[in-house]
Amino acid sequence: MTDKITVGGVAVDTRHWIGGERVASPDTFTDISPIDGSTIGEISRATPAEAAAAIAAAKAAFPAWAATSRAERARLLHAIADGVEKRLEELAIVETTDNGALLRSHRRGVMPRVAHNFRFFADWLLKLDHEDFETRGHGNHVSWDPAGPSVLITPWNAPLLLATWKVAPALAAGNTVVLKPAEWSPLTASLLADIAAEAGLPAGVLNLVQGYGSEIGDALTSHPDVRRISFTGSVPTARRIAASAAANLTPLSLELGGKSPLLVFADADLDLAVDLAVEQYDNAGQVCLAATRFLVEESVAEEFTRRFVEKAGQLTQGDPRDEATDVGPNIHPRQLEKIDGFVQRAVAAGARALVGGHRKDGQYYAPTLLTDVAQDSEIVQEEVFGPVLTLQTFATEDEAVRLANDTRFGLAATVATGDPERARRVTARLVAGTVWVNCFFVRDLRAPFGGSRLSGVGREGGSWSFDFYCDLKNTVTAPNGWSNHG
């Protein structure tokens, strides 16, 4: 195995990053590009020994990093952001090759947001505060103490964006990190380790192990020295992580699946509603927040459907490196099989494909819209995580809300309406961590993010991230004690 591979002209190290050094494993796994199924390279495949070494490195580095001033931690996070911006084009090329998302999106939105993740939490750290208060003359002072080594397990659909959504606040909080990226898209995490080292982040503060969760997951999540675990991924994997962490009562943050609705009322701007609906094919449908269930008021359903079919037919599917492409490939042959299985079972049960409903060449699945689906059917109830949407109708506002809430999930919801009062009524009744009204995917790091029901546990973003990654402490001082806690 070679230590480095070249991806789109960019050198990427295939080894782990542990304690400030590159570490190879005796075995590897093959990383393939969803664009054409070609082999990108052989990547070091961690064993429990490498997982333990990464945790040991994070533990050794923790006391000094926790004692580092807020100002210095913030400075280093900004330096990492500078490094991301300096290598933005390289990161975009590598990630598109690795996970198949649109290159134009990586250039214009995703990688700039990666840098913003570091800058935001660096700046938030410097203003993190709680007003002191008195209790019968006693002073109360709230502080956020670094919790310890944190294991961060990230998904393949937005690899670097979602990794840094966790890495940045964990580091800002004073924790050390062991990052385990998804094996289907590991490459930009390796580049992040290089960028962090070049920025001057001390050895052991950020560690990277690559491999299969089935082989090293338990070694990472059951370790007694790990004090926080943050995971984005599937519900079954989250259950295994929670069981593994239970013995040590390690706090968890879990952002899981979704089966989010788009509610279109008759008073909505239909052009806007259709634009929002077609946007759900973004990233080939591999977006946890996607509104995959269209719920449309009966009186406008026919017109909405006509406009949607017309607009969806204008999408260009193909090589994500082409500026003209709107929909790229799905991540892996196994995922493509899963997507097609959902569609074929739905059609066999009576669903009709108004758009798509079939595979294309390679790892591409045609953007699909299914109708004539029952509320209790698999295609309505289970997350597909591909470019597959369903359409149902409703007669009343109460029915719309009932259908929207009638799944095991509660990650997000989107509402299209021209009536502000209806918007307030409906959003108050929806079970969701995020609700968008007449818009979609507007995300602010100051806002809490997470899901209800099986869509997750906990919230991150703004102070909520620090609440999770820190141990909150309240110091109570007697009236004749010190008044300034520093």
Q: pTM of this prediction? A: 0.95
In this structure, is residue 423 part of a structural domain? yes
Query: Is-catalytic flag, 298?
Result: no
Q: Are residue 162 and residue 272 in the same domain, yes or no?
A: no
Judged against a pLDDT cut of 80, whether residue 182 lies above it is answered with yes
Contact 255, 269 (CB under 8 A): no
**Active-site residue (options: 50, 288, 383, 460):** 288
Q: Are residue 312 and residue 377 in the same domain, yes or no?
A: yes
The pLDDT assigned to 486 comes to 43
Q: Are residue 240 and residue 268 in the same domain, yes or no?
A: no
In this structure, is residue 482 part of a structural domain? no
Q: Are residue 143 and residue 217 in the same domain, yes or no?
A: yes
In this structure, is residue 481 part of a structural domain? no
Judged against a pLDDT cut of 50, whether residue 27 lies above it is answered with yes
Q: Whole-angstrom Cα distance, residue 316 to residue 2?
A: 37
Q: How confident is the model at residue 482 (pLDDT cuts 50, 70, 90)?
A: low
Q: Are residue 220 and residue 148 in the same domain, yes or no?
A: yes
- The number of beta carbons lying within 10 Å of the beta carbon of residue 485 is 13
334: region left, alpha or beta (phi > 0 left; psi from -120 to 50 alpha): alpha
Q: Are residue 270 and residue 248 in the same domain, yes or no?
A: no
- Strand 28-32, strand 39-44: pairing: antiparallel
In this structure, is residue 102 part of a structural domain? yes
Domain that holds residue 137: 4-256+455-475
In this structure, is residue 447 part of a structural domain? no
pLDDT digits (tens, 9 = 90+) for 249-276: 999 999 999 999 999 999 999 999 999 9
**Active-site residue (options: 255, 297, 383, 460):** 255
Judged against a pLDDT cut of 70, whether residue 119 lies above it is answered with yes
pLDDT digits (tens, 9 = 90+) for 275-321: 999 999 999 999 999 999 999 999 999 999 999 999 999 999 999 99
Query: Is-catalytic flag, 323?
Result: no
CATH of the domain at 161: 3.40.605.10
Judged against a pLDDT cut of 80, whether residue 98 lies above it is answered with yes
In the chain, the number of structural domains is 2
SS3 360: coil
Q: Are residue 306 and residue 232 in the same domain, yes or no?
A: no
